[in-house]
Amino acid sequence: MHWSRRILLGFGLAISVLAVAQSQPAAEVKLPVRRVVLYKAGIGYFEHSGRVVDSQQVQVNFTTSQLNDVLKSLTVLDRGNGKVTGISYNSIAPVEQRLRNLRLPLGESTSQAEFLNALRGARIEVRNGAVAVTGRLLAVESRPVTRKDETRTTIDTLTLVAEGGLIRSFELAPTTSVRILEQDLNQDVNRYLNVITSAREQDVRHMTISTSGTGARELMVSYISEVPVWKSTYRIVLPTTAKTKALLQGWAIVDNTVGEDWKDVQLSLVAGAPQSFIQALSTPYYARRPVIALPQSAVTAPQTHERVLNDGARSQLDAMASAPAPPPPPAAANRPVMAEKAAKRSPGAPSGASGGTLNGAFLSKAAPVDLSAELLESQQSAAETRDLGDLFEYQIKEPVTIGKDQSALVPILQARVDAEVVTLWTQAAKRPLRALWLTNSSGLMLDGGTFNVLEGGAFAGEGLIEPLKAGEKRFLSYAADLGVQVESKQQRERQRVTRVKIVRGVLTHTTEWRERRVYTVRNENADARTVIIEHPVRDGMKLVADAPAPAETTSSTYRFRLNVEPKKTASLTVEEQQPTVVTYQLTNLTTDQIALFVQQGTVNSETEKALRGIITQKSEVAALAAAIESRQNEVSSIFEDQERVRENLKSLKGTAEEKELTQRYTRQLNQQEDRVQALRNEMNDLKRKREQAQAQLNRSVESLALDATL
């Protein structure tokens, strides 16, 4: 079924009160719509209220899709000496599930032959003309036959086992009738047909609300349901003088497709993006269970379940019961906002509206129309507004009447706002655009929608507006500026600018890559133009310090303001830089690195002199360290040789050469000890000099400070 058809069926709300008094006949009482709140998520909040007497029942009809939303949100309040005793609705299982519960093996769609085959073995009576045979159905078969005109076709043949074992066959022709003789089987067939019949009406769900109490009192029923999304459209009337602000008028397009008139309802429109979803709560759900063979001894073991994490929430019914009562509907004397059908005015339109409509104001064909901001401002009253956190509500001041299947243009906003007319140029646009640099100074949130601009009493263009928070500033482009031409050119290739900074032994080498882009603007118009040029924001690039400051910056663009006189040319130069920073420890620099810096021109003579002095001192420390290491190596070599001599002395005992060799080895050991002592004295002196040289190097490194730009 088509979606709009479902909505029409479901919202033809047969909300009636059925009297259940002892002897009085049932009386229908309508619960009309009193309040409607439409949301941008495609849902609406509906509130009905009326009077019930004593113990009565209210029946509400929905579609299955609507019932899913109703089950999530239904609230019923008995505002008197009574209470709600129960809410019930007809539960409809899927057709396939209900057919499986029948004894007849038939599907939702079946043919005559399939139906009869499902009755095999049953007692039936077959009548063909004057011939009537009673027996048990054996089978129904299809077989090909050749007719007299030589054409081949397929016919269905019913085979019957009559009394006495006689088998008879009948062609299932239009003149053949079959009657079921078994009462139980007839009941099964009736059940099958009832299931098929209910499948046609399964989209109608009847909800019954039972109340119990004494006397007359008010009953309120509220719920949410799917509705068309309401749309926003704006009119911006530019001022004729610089001393006044632009007039912003907002209208909402509301569609009533619910199949019931809205008469003098309290209408609210909520802007924002609340989350909403559909869940088939009204459809019985069957879980798939595995088929497990029974063991010889079947034992069911107990099991545990997870505990509830939080159980402190009140039910929705309790929350609504403690909520304050809604305000009474506006007085009937207030002028309702009448609806118009698409492309056709309602016969209830004002008598002075004999012409067409433009921008929500009725115009007359008899005289020229004054579309000044002051005139339009006097013709419209704005809605009351309320900030709801992430949402924003427009509550229409006057009661609204919209007939079923009609739409209305409802005023929601009227305010003076700051709007500067500029020419906007972007990288993606083929031509510069006329735009409003609009500041939402209305203090209200503007919902996204369309807008058109009136300038000098004439249409100037139209465009789209995204949701705009109070105080937010946004460009709204509405036309092409044919008199302005913009040329973008990269004037110079990238160049390198180097900065060298030395602080506490760390050399920071900064290389800045600069890029310059020139925008040339020609204004052929007869009046001056304020041109806003958008320059892209690129990763790693930033504006140089002496570059023109942008009027504003977005996440992806800089916006520069440029004033261009009539018939003149003006230019804007945007220069950017991308710094690259490399650090070096002065004590780790080598002569080759310094030579490379000098060759590349990245250090000046003063910096080179300071760095070479550091390298010289570093070399002195290194030379002293090498001398110490050399003497330490010599001492280690002497110790190894002394070990060899001592081993030789041990092996000389008892030999003829013992005395002579012992004297020679003793002299050699004495000489080595003298050398070791001398080396130790030299190392102590070298270490003292190295410490002094290192301290001098550290002082030179710490004291060296330089900040030079080349």
What is the rounded CA–CA span in Å between residue 264 and residue 35?
9
Confidence bin at 354 (pLDDT 50/70/90): very low
| pLDDT(537) > 60 | yes
- Tell me the two tokens of residue 341: 């059908």
Give ∠ CA 314-317-320 in degrees, rounded to 5: 95
Amino acid of residue 249: Q
What is the rounded CA–CA span in Å between residue 88 and residue 208?
5
Q: For residue 704, what is the DSSP state? A: -
Strand order in the sheet with 56-63: 16-19, 56-63, 204-213, 82-89
**pLDDT average, residue stretch 3-18:** 33
pTM to 2 decimal places:
0.54
pLDDT of residue 363: 33
CB atoms near residue 42 (< 10 Å): 12
Q: Which residue has the higher pLDDT, 660 or 505?
A: 505
pLDDT of residue 566: 94
Out of 114-128, 263-277, 310-324, pick the least confident: 310-324
pLDDT, tens digit, 9 for 90 and up, residues 74-114? 888 888 888 888 888 766 666 666 677 677 777 777 888 88
pLDDT of residue 18: 35
What is the rounded CA–CA span in Å between residue 590 and residue 61?
91
- DSSP element (H, E) containing 489: strand 484-503
**pLDDT average, residue stretch 523-552:** 90
pLDDT of residue 318: 40
Q: Is 603 exposed, middle or buried (0-12, 13-18, 19+ CB in 10 A)?
A: buried
Q: Residue 532: helix, strand or coil by DSSP?
A: strand
What is the rounded CA–CA span in Å between residue 562 and residue 621?
62
Cβ contact 31:15 at 8 Å: yes
pLDDT of residue 325: 39
The residues, ordered by sequence, that sit 6+ positions from 331 with a Cβ below 8 Å of its Cβ are: none
What is the rounded CA–CA span in Å between residue 436 and residue 667?
107
607 half-sphere exposure, CB direction, 13 A CA radius: 22
149-171 b/e (C-beta count within 10 Å ≥ 16 → b): eeeeeeebebebeeeeeeeeebe
What is the rounded CA–CA span in Å between residue 538 and residue 574?
13
What is the rounded CA–CA span in Å between residue 383 and residue 413?
6
Backbone dihedral region of 689: left (phi > 0), alpha (psi from -120 to 50 degrees) or beta? alpha
What is the rounded CA–CA span in Å between residue 225 and residue 62?
10
pLDDT, tens digit, 9 for 90 and up, residues 464-506? 888 888 888 888 999 899 999 999 988 766 666 677 788 888 8
What is the rounded CA–CA span in Å between residue 73 and residue 69?
6
Question: Three-state SS across 632-701?
Answer: HHHHHHHHHHHHHHHHHHHHCCCCCCHHHHHHHHHHHHHHHHHHHHHHHHHHHHHHHHHHHHHHHHHHHH
**pLDDT average, residue stretch 388-412:** 83
Q: For residue 482, what is the DSSP state? A: T
Question: Residue 686's Cα: distance from chain center in Å?
Answer: 75
Q: What mean pLDDT, rounded, does the chain reach?
A: 75
Give ∠ CA 271-276-279 in degrees, rounded to 5: 160
Cβ contact 642:674 at 8 Å: no
pLDDT of residue 431: 87
Confidence bin at 29 (pLDDT 50/70/90): low
- Tell me the two tokens of residue 573: 């130069």
How far is CA 444 from each of CA 260, 394, 453, 590, rounded to the nearest angstrom?
32, 10, 20, 67
Confidence bin at 562 (pLDDT 50/70/90): very high
**pLDDT average, residue stretch 41-56:** 86
What is the rounded CA–CA span in Å between residue 700 and residue 693?
10
Q: Residue 351: helix, strand or coil by DSSP?
A: coil
Question: Residue 499's Cα: distance from chain center in Å?
Answer: 47
pLDDT of residue 522: 95
Residues β-bridged to residue 266: 35
Closest CA to 484 of 534, 448, 520: 520
Q: What is the dihedral of CA 685, 686, 689, 691, to 10 degrees?
A: -110
The DSSP bridge pattern shows strands 484-503 and 473-480 to be unpaired
Q: Give the CA radius of gyration of the chain.
A: 48
What is the rounded CA–CA span in Å between residue 458 and residue 372?
10
pLDDT, tens digit, 9 for 90 and up, residues 427-442? 887 789 999 999 988 8
Residues β-bridged to residue 420: 437
The residues, ordered by sequence, that sit 6+ positions from 645 with a Cβ below 8 Å of its Cβ are: 665, 668, 669
Per-residue DSSP letters for 126-182? Answer: EEETTEEEEEEEEEEEEEEEE-TTS-EEEEEEEEEEEGGG-EEEEE--TTEEEEE--
Confidence bin at 668 (pLDDT 50/70/90): confident
What is the rounded CA–CA span in Å between residue 425 and residue 485?
9
| pLDDT(530) > 90 | yes
The residues, ordered by sequence, that sit 6+ positions from 30 with a Cβ below 8 Å of its Cβ are: 15, 16, 50
